[in-house]
């Protein structure tokens, strides 16, 4: 059984090792490397299209995908079709789905010129809308939200493509008796960020921001962690990071003082070394550094906390904590580890852009770090996934040298069946999961969970820590890939 995420950020500190010498040689190896970043960008967006649930549009580019989950919501007489499957299974999990959309929206805002230049802005907007349309269906009543479709335990007992699934589409909800601050606040963040992306579509944008305000209010007034998804996507880090993150996006979308007051006086913020679907502090801190705000209690500026994130990651600072493999990749834990790689690359490019514009540097104690160093490290992390790694192979399906052939993914590894074909769950694992052969359908653009802490990767379907993709690995990759494709290797913005 697949459990998502196994340790808190505290674990990061526990495994902090000094491998500076090895890391520097990895840096040098990656320096000057180049890939077809435009191709990687295009494909990374296509992977999100392969994860779509519901009725697919006529311009669907993934030929082996069809309509699925068409009765989602029926158990409660509501329409919950649409949204995304998170990874290699067929469940729609609220928390990671919302984080995927928040980070996609951020990419669309921060890298708009590059996405325009590469012709991908429309596709990213469509990817965001596929999520926000679904959230609007999930949150129609005050202090209530549908947060998950599909029973994960039963789903995991059947290796079936979503088009032919017959597993229970159990519905999960939060309300004032069973609140869920993380999910409510993350969804608020997604809707607020998307309201900025779609600000030219006035009515839609207003709907999004109004819903965002209500969900934030619900999460904030009913403080509780929702454990319904455990052991799948349990919130390990608590809800303080989601509240800060949501208030930040709402402040940016509305400029209302009430959010600024919460951010400056009430919210809890702390320095961590991870940016992920569970832990959003560094994302909020980078945004708030740009807004020149001060953390709760007025003790630290958010810039200091954003700096601390950079210092914890970079191997060449006195405060580095994060384990970096001998080949130069950030490795926090096995299973969807690539999210830390793409997430760090994303934040580093965004933060470097602001530092550059503001004439600022990162301070790690007395050691100044220039924005160029953040860009170089971001490029190296992305290049690692694209092929500049000790195994000399690509970790993106359908891209580059020796790409993965056996993603741990139901739809990609099972044959296209006629609608209505009844699949025997007992046989499905023997027929489609176990065989040691390439998937019949190419899961184009999927970035794999990735290699382990020794840079080792197993291209087998059952090695799910290595070969399972996730929507948020890709949503976080889109920004840095757009920057690499649209700006050139030095990643300096012309805007």
**Catalytic machinery residues:** 408
**Which of 182, 307 has the CB closer to ligand NAG?**
307
Q: Cα angle vertex 473, ends 468, 475, to 5°?
A: 135
Q: Please provide residue 174's backbone torsions phi and psi, each rounded to the nearest 5 degrees.
A: -115, 145
CB-based burial label for 96 (10 Å; 0-12, 13-18, 19+): buried
**Which of 366, 436 has the CB closer to ligand NAG?**
436
387 token code pair: 């092929």
Which residue is closest to ligand NAG by CB? Answer: 436
**Which of 7, 291 has the CB closer to ligand NAG?**
291
Q: Does 460 bind ligand NAG (CB under 6 A)?
A: yes
**Which of 142, 357 has the CB closer to ligand NAG?**
357
* Smallest separation, CB 462 to ligand NAG (Å): 4
* Smallest separation, CB 291 to ligand NAG (Å): 9
Site string for ligand NAG, 421-450 (x = CB under 6 A): ---------------x--------------
| Contacting residue, 34, 292, 402, 424, with ligand NAG by CB under 6 A | 292
Q: What is the dihedral of CA 344, 226, 85, 143, to 10 degrees?
A: -110
**Which of 169, 461 has the CB closer to ligand NAG?**
461
Q: Does 261 bind ligand NAG (CB under 6 A)?
A: no
Q: Does 1 bind ligand NAG (CB under 6 A)?
A: no
**Which of 340, 457 has the CB closer to ligand NAG?**
457
422 token code pair: 């009844």
Q: Does 462 bind ligand NAG (CB under 6 A)?
A: yes
* Smallest separation, CB 292 to ligand NAG (Å): 4
Rounded to whole angstroms, the Cα distance separating 265 from 272 reads 20
- Distances, alpha carbon 114 to alpha carbons 109, 198, 235, 380, 491, in Å: 10, 17, 34, 19, 11
**Which of 207, 460 has the CB closer to ligand NAG?**
460
- Do residues 50 and 398 make contact, with C-beta atoms less than 8 angstroms apart? no
Q: Count the site residues for ligand NAG by CB under 6 A.
A: 4
Strands of 35-118, DSSP E: 92-93
Rounded to whole angstroms, the Cα distance separating 174 from 191 reads 18
Q: Does 140 bind ligand NAG (CB under 6 A)?
A: no
Strands of 238-299, DSSP E: none
**Which of 74, 357 has the CB closer to ligand NAG?**
357
Do you know the residue count of the chain?
A: 495
Centre a 10 Å sphere on the Cβ of residue 205 and count the other Cβ atoms it contains. 18
* Smallest separation, CB 157 to ligand NAG (Å): 16
Site string for ligand NAG, 5-34 (x = CB under 6 A): ------------------------------
Site string for ligand NAG, 382-421 (x = CB under 6 A): ----------------------------------------
CB-based burial label for 40 (10 Å; 0-12, 13-18, 19+): buried
Q: Between 202-221 and 240-254, two packed helices, what is the crossing angle to 10 degrees?
A: 150
Rounded to whole angstroms, the Cα distance separating 98 from 103 reads 9
Helix or strand or coil: residue 368? Answer: strand
* Smallest separation, CB 296 to ligand NAG (Å): 14
Cis peptide before 231 (omega within 30 of 0): yes
Strand partners, 93: 148
- Do residues 471 and 84 make contact, with C-beta atoms less than 8 angstroms apart? yes
Binding site for ligand NAG (CB under 6 A): 292, 436, 460, 462
């Amino acid at each position: 059984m697949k459990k998502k995420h196994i340790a808190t950020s505290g674990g990061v500190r526990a495994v902090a090792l000094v491998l500076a010498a090895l890391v520097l040689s990895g840096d040098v190896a990656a320096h000057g490397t180049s890939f077809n970043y435009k191709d990687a960008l295009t494909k990374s967006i296509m992977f999100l299209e392969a994860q779509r649930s519901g009725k697919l549009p006529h311009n669907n580019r993934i030929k082996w995908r069809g309509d699925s989950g068409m009765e989602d919501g029926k158990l409660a007489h509501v329409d919950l079709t649409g949204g995304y499957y998170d990874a290699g299974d067929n469940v729609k999990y609220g928390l990671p789905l919302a984080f995927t959309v928040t980070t996609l929206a951020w990419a669309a805002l921060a890298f708009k010129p590059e996405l325009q230049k590469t012709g991908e802005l429309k596709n990213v907007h469509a990817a965001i809308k596929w999520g926000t349309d679904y959230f609007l269906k999930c949150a129609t009543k005050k202090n209530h939200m549908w947060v998950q479709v599909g029973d994960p335990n039963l789903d995991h007992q059947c290796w079936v493509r979503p088009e032919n699934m017959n597993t229970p589409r159990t519905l999960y909800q939060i309300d004032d008796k069973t609140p869920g601050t993380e999910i409510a606040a993350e969804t608020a963040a997604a809707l607020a960020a998307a309201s900025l992306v779609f600000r030219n579509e006035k009515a839609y944008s207003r709907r999004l921001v109004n819903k965002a305000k209500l969900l934030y209010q619900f999460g904030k007034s009913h403080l509780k962690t929702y454990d319904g998804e455990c052991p799948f996507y349990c919130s390990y880090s608590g809800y303080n990071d989601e509240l800060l993150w949501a208030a930040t996006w709402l402040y940016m979308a509305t400029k209302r003082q009430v959010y600024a007051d919460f951010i400056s006086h009430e919210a809890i913020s702390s320095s961590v070394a991870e940016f992920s679907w569970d832990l959003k502090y560094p994302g909020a801190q980078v945004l708030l550094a740009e807004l020149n705000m001060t953390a709760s209690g007025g003790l630290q500026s958010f810039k200091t906390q954003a700096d601390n994130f950079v210092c914890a990651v970079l191997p060449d600072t006195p405060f580095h904590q994060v384990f970096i493999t001998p080949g130069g990749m950030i490795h926090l834990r096995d299973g969807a580890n690539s999210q830390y790689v793409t997430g760090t690359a994303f934040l580093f490019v965004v933060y470097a852009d602001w530092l550059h514009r503001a004439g600022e540097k990162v301070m790690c104690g007395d050691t100044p770090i220039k924005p160029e160093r953040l860009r170089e490290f971001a490029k190296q992390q992305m290049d690692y996934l694209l092929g500049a790694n000790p195994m000399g192979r690509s970790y993106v399906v359908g891209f580059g040298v020796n790409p993965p052939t056996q993603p741990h993914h139901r739809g990609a590894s099972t044959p296209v069946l006629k609608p209505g074909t009844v699949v025997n769950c007992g046989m499905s694992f023997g027929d489609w999961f176990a065989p040691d052969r390439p998937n019949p359908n190419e899961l184009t653009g999927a970035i794999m969970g990735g290699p382990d802490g020794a840079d080792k990767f197993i291209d087998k379907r059952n090695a799910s820590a290595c070969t399972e993709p996730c929507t948020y690995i890709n949503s976080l990759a889109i920004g840095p890939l757009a920057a690499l494709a649209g700006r050139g290797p030095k990643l300096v913005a012309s805007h």
